[in-house]
Structure 1
Amino acid sequence: MSPIRRGSSRLRILCVTTVAAVFIFYTLVPSGLFSSSPSTPGKVQYPFKAKGVVAGDPAKAAAVKTAMQRTFWKYRAAAWGYDEVRPVSGGNRTTRNNWAATIVDTLTTTLMMGLEREFFIVNFAIHDVDFTRARGLVDPFETTIRYLGAMVSTVDLLDAKFTTFSIPVPKASRDALLAQAVLLADKLAPGFDSPTGMVWPRVNFTTAEGCREKPAERPYPDYDHATIGPARAGSNWLENMALSRLTGVKQYGANATRAWSPLVYSKWDEEWPGMIDGPWDIMTGTPYDHHRSWGAGHDSYYEYLIKAHVMIPSDPHSLKYRDRWLAAVDSTTKHLIQTSQDAGDAETHYFLHQYRNGWLINEMGHLACFAGGNWMLGGAYLQKPAITKMGAELIKTCRDTYAKTTTGIGPETWSWYPMDAEPVHDPKTEEQWKQAREWGWWVADPKYVLRPETVESYFYAYRITGNKMYQKWAWEAFQAYMKATKAEYGYAEVLDVTLPAGADNQKDQAESFWGAETLKYLYLIFCDDDVASLDEWVFSTEAHPFRIQKEAALAATGVLGTTV
């Protein structure tokens, strides 16, 4: 039996439970400003050419491309074939199962930037990656978004004739890349083999079984079952549905649909409709703790709800995904978004709190800065201007964390004094007290690990509004990155964004998302608006684009009608 078929008998049995959940919860319609009353989805991207606006800035786009080329060639010289380069020392790191994460994850970036030489080197290198063998246990979440998503997206881009290379990419090369994606997806399939269909924290490629992160240890010592955050359950859908379309094999999309159905069609009472607790017990589909957030562990579940609706509006669950996202946005606005107490600069900042077991937690992270762009995307698509406006406010807050620091780069996390809640976190140093008085917030964790989320939101904001301010903010961020992160063998993490830039303020690490996401989004802000239009493409949480599907295209592949 093919590994992709594992757990199929359980899938049929659980259909009865899922259908019951549909009847119970499909009537949960959010109220207020974000009501999901029927509407015709609108065009998302600003009509630059129709308005006579030149969207791109060729000189700045070229500067970002140069940074990407330097990233590539420094990695190739010092760490080729390894997951990551050590940008300060020139060493290497194996962090993603020894499958050359930097090579695979940046494939779509070299293609979209038109870096012909780099793309062909990377494309053929991927054909030699052996996905049947893994160094250590495999993380299905990271593997799906970085490896599987990159390969599937590249095939999608090639099929759409996205590239203008002087030498056409051979069809045999395209087919070999898709075969690699299929091989990896089949190896990941045991991760879906739980009673609920929710993904195991890890997959053992040697035994073809899902397992805990560390089988001998438990994240919750008093708890017998494996647990995962909502993001792990919900960040498989775009990649696997696109793979189903490209291969005609429905099971990839069916597995991903079933994996997040306990969250989408939750049978548990929700104190705040649409906002789910976490983490979840994958054996019973029960939330183990009461943590709600748009940050780490939760983020891309909410991100994918609206993107699933945009990518395949004719999917049987599409309207449910839309309504669950709208409900989450509505509840977030009511319960998690608050302004800070007055700051010396007299600016109003809207912060995204977290919630845990009755406490409103006044801490936000760089990861959560994706939310502003996500809200602007959903608000524009669904013609909900109040959502778009709040998304812009969240982006402004994230930009302020960049504007106030010494390096011009936002920190990993920050805190503030909420206007109408008791703070969980207080400043601990004199410098933090000073920041709180002057800025209305203070730096909690000062590092910068090359994350993309702030410039990602600038990308959505610029493409949706056409406002050149977002280009200005993006260029400021790029210049700050170049000054603070540039190292001998690439670009390095920053130890403390509140200290001056320099070699003594760098950490010898660089994850693959620097090239896959951060530089890609910066390039897309400055290139022509025809490149990856938001009316034609949906981006994964790792910035890999997939084509928005029309009903006719789905019917032709037999994917239309895929259900849990």
Structure 2
Amino acid sequence: MMISRRSYLLPTIILLCITYALFSNLPPGAEPPNAHNHLYQQYATDPPPPKEGRTRWRKHVEQYPISDYIPLPTSATSPIPRIQYDFPRESWFARWGRVKRQRAVKKAFQHAWKGYKDNAWLEDELSPLTGGHRETFAGWAATLVDSLDTLVIMGLMDEFEEAVEAVEFIDFTTTNAIQINIFETNIRYLGGLLGAYDLTHGRYPVLLKKAVEIADMIYGSFDTRNRMPQSRWEWTRSAGGLKIEPGRNTILAELGSLNLEFTRLSQLTNDPKYFDAIQRITDFLEESQEKTNVPGMWPLMVNAKDLEFADPRFTIGGMADSTYEYLPKEHMLLGGQTSQYRKMYNSFMKALKSHLLFRPKTLDGRDILFAGNMRVSEPSNGKETLEPQWEHLKCYLGGTVGIGAKVFDRPEELSIARKLVDGCIWAYDVMPTGIMPEVLHLTVCKNRENCKLSKSARTGKTTSDGKKLPPGVADIPDAKYLLRPEAIESVFIMYRLTGDTLLQDAAWRMFQNIERMTRTSYGHAAISDVRDPESPQMDYMESFWLAETLKYFYLIFSEPDLVNLDKYVLNTEAHPFKRPTAASQ
């Protein structure tokens, strides 16, 4: 039977009239259902109100100008070997299962992104329990910038373009912060802008424009007598034409983890000043690497003012981590055009294997590895103290050693990398929540031929607060989970290096447990105790949850050519930079 268009046009008009009558009489401040209660619609067309009365950064004459910049290297060296496994064509059933997992990760991201967009747009972080926001990294919309390339990777291009429009309005010339953390600004903001620019093949020039803007500001932190940066930069002094000094207690990672971002910016702009800035740090680290109390490594704290190392603590964990992570990665980004990073990595690995690696005792005696901390007094008395401490931050190490084994042609160390990755998976699996804590201590296996726990130790200890420790875990000083990415980072990298689908299964267990324990109405929240399946949540969702953790979970269930490791190198905040030369096949 034919139905005339008029016959259902009339009811439609009536419905529209009723809707208008209802919503045009809403009380002041009310919004119709599904209306977005956020600022992003306004800022898509109009800039935010100006921040009056603040000190602003402007380019100025340097106190200690450079007369001759160190250029990017151009000498040819041997090609970098291929990194990624040669994945076979997958079956339809394998693809169905993989895509199903991938979609679950994407839904988790969309949930958290909506919470940020609706409640904390252009702020640094969402408070996932209350729906508020926090200013943590100078107030420059850290979560927005940090998440740009994740939006691209997940195919959320409408959301990405909204975010790119908002980036234009971020004012990098001023902040409420008295000091600017150069490391965090570098990896999150500069890295986020460059990663999104590279991943979209330069189609959004505003991203490079804003990258230069933030880089030119923090470049001011290098204007010191020895050109070492003031890592917690007193930026208003520099803006006022006053001198600054690097710190006598500078965190190693904050000094040694600026390479990738500044190098990539020099590659994209052909301006050598950025590479010059970080190359002076690298030359200092290389020159001093064999002169510390643990030759091949640097202590936790550096006297960047006097270029000295007095700290007796050595670790590959927090406050040191990305300095070592960047050794093979900078080699990749430079296309292998210098042997400097190969030399530094070789020296580091010798020290790591000699001093810090250990095998723990477990129920089944499995062959896994961890890296402890070491306190070393003057080498003359030869006293070394190993602390069998492991932390979630250290889980990056398996991926780093795996990459190093490939790019520096050290195939015998791929097994070490796998044992480190398996150690992190084990630390997830043995916890009642299926999530690894922030810090734990392990039981060292001194006889590597037999690492099974004794019968008396197989029940696990009970702590003073009545919590039972998993067998093999000696203590858990910090039981929180802060939504960190390092474990899934290395699981992802090892999967891309080996093609072992058991790693995808481990990642899926990790994701399901994290999603279950951390999901809130507004996003995802850190939890206070991974030993408690009913752990309270914390009103805390750092930008790396969207920038790193969910990105790595998504990528491990993606087709292997998405962010191919032979084409991109990922910075310590998981931002992909294009490698300038193709890997050899």
TM-score (norm 1): 0.82
* Equivalent of 2:249 in 212, 227, 231: 227
For residue 19 of structure 1, what is the aligned residue in structure 2?
A: none
Instruction: Please tell me whether residue 124 in structure 1 is matched to residue 146 in structure 2.
Output: no
Deviations 1:261-316 (A, max 9, x none): 2112217623443211231111121113122111011100000011011121344x
For residue 531 of structure 1, what is the aligned residue in structure 2?
A: 562
* Equivalent of 2:501 in 455, 468, 493: 468
Q: Could you tell me whether the CA contact under 8 Å between 2:248 and 2:303 is conserved in 1?
A: yes
1:5 positional shift? 7.5
* Equivalent of 2:284 in 250, 254, 262: 262
Mapped partners of 2:534, 2:227: distance in 1: 47
1:226 positional shift? 3.1
Deviations 1:514-533 (A, max 9, x none): 00000000111001111010
**In 2 relative to 1, CA 97–9 (structure 1 residues): closer, same or farther, beyond 3 Å?**
closer
Question: For residue 175 of structure 1, what is the amino acid of its counterpart?
Answer: P
* Equivalent of 1:275 in 293, 297, 305: 297
SS of residue in 1 equivalent to 2:237: coil
**In 2 relative to 1, CA 551–429 (structure 1 residues): closer, same or farther, beyond 3 Å?**
closer
SS of residue in 2 equivalent to 1:196: coil
**In 2 relative to 1, CA 327–414 (structure 1 residues): closer, same or farther, beyond 3 Å?**
same
Aligned length, in residue pairs? 497
Mapped partners of 2:373, 2:386: distance in 1: 6
Mapped partners of 1:267, 1:392: distance in 2: 27
Q: Could you tell me whether the CA contact under 8 Å between 2:64 and 2:224 is conserved in 1?
A: no
For residue 73 of structure 1, what is the aligned residue in structure 2?
A: 114
* Equivalent of 2:426 in 397, 400, 425: 400
For residue 42 of structure 2, what is the aligned residue in structure 1?
A: none
Aligned runs of 1:41-52 on 2, under 5 Å?
41-49=80-88
Instruction: Please tell me whether residue 445 in structure 1 is matched to residue 487 in structure 2.
Output: no
1:346 positional shift? 2.8
Q: Could you tell me whether the CA contact under 8 Å between 2:64 and 2:225 is conserved in 1?
A: no
* Equivalent of 1:429 in 463, 474, 481: 463
Instruction: Please tell me whether residue 184 in structure 1 is matched to residue 214 in structure 2.
Output: yes
Q: Percent identity?
A: 33
1:373 positional shift? 0.8
* Equivalent of 2:198 in 156, 159, 165: 156
Instruction: Please tell me whether residue 298 in structure 1 is matched to residue 351 in structure 2.
Output: no
Q: Could you tell me whether the CA contact under 8 Å between 2:58 and 2:173 is conserved in 1?
A: no
SS of residue in 2 equivalent to 1:297: coil
**In 2 relative to 1, CA 111–268 (structure 1 residues): closer, same or farther, beyond 3 Å?**
same
SS of residue in 2 equivalent to 1:135: coil
Q: Could you tell me whether the CA contact under 8 Å between 2:289 and 2:297 is conserved in 1?
A: no
Q: Could you tell me whether the CA contact under 8 Å between 1:375 and 1:391 is conserved in 2?
A: yes
In the alignment, structure 2 segments of 5+ residues that lack a partner are: 1-56, 71-76, 377-383, 448-459
* Equivalent of 1:417 in 435, 440, 443: 443
For residue 489 of structure 1, what is the aligned residue in structure 2?
A: 522
Deviations 1:356-407 (A, max 9, x none): 2342122111001000011111112223222111011011111111001111
Mapped partners of 1:148, 1:106: distance in 2: 12
Structure with max Cα Rg: 2
Mapped partners of 1:488, 1:482: distance in 2: 12
* Equivalent of 1:202 in 232, 235, 242: 232
The range that moved more, 45-54 or 491-500, is 45-54
For residue 397 of structure 2, what is the aligned residue in structure 1?
A: 371
* Equivalent of 1:113 in 151, 154, 177: 154
Which consecutive segments of 4 or more residues in structure 1 shift more than 6 A?
Answer: 50-56
Question: For residue 250 of structure 2, what is the amino acid of its counterpart?
Answer: I
* Equivalent of 1:139 in 170, 175, 181: 181
Deviations 1:432-454 (A, max 9, x none): 99636x23544231100000000
Question: For residue 72 of structure 1, what is the amino acid of its counterpart?
Answer: W
1:248 positional shift? 1.3
Deviations 1:6-27 (A, max 9, x none): 46646769x9xxxxxxxxxxxx
SS of residue in 1 equivalent to 2:339: helix
Deviations 1:224-243 (A, max 9, x none): 95321221111111111111
1:135 positional shift? 1.6
In the alignment, structure 1 segments of 5+ residues that lack a partner are: 16-37, 161-170, 219-223, 553-564
Higher relative contact order (CA 8 A, sep 6+): 1
Mapped partners of 1:356, 1:508: distance in 2: 35
Question: For residue 86 of structure 2, what is the amino acid of its counterpart?
Answer: P
Aligned runs of 1:328-343 on 2, under 5 Å?
328-340=348-360, 342-343=361-362
Q: Could you tell me whether the CA contact under 8 Å between 1:375 and 1:390 is conserved in 2?
A: yes
Q: Could you tell me whether the CA contact under 8 Å between 1:362 and 1:415 is conserved in 2?
A: yes
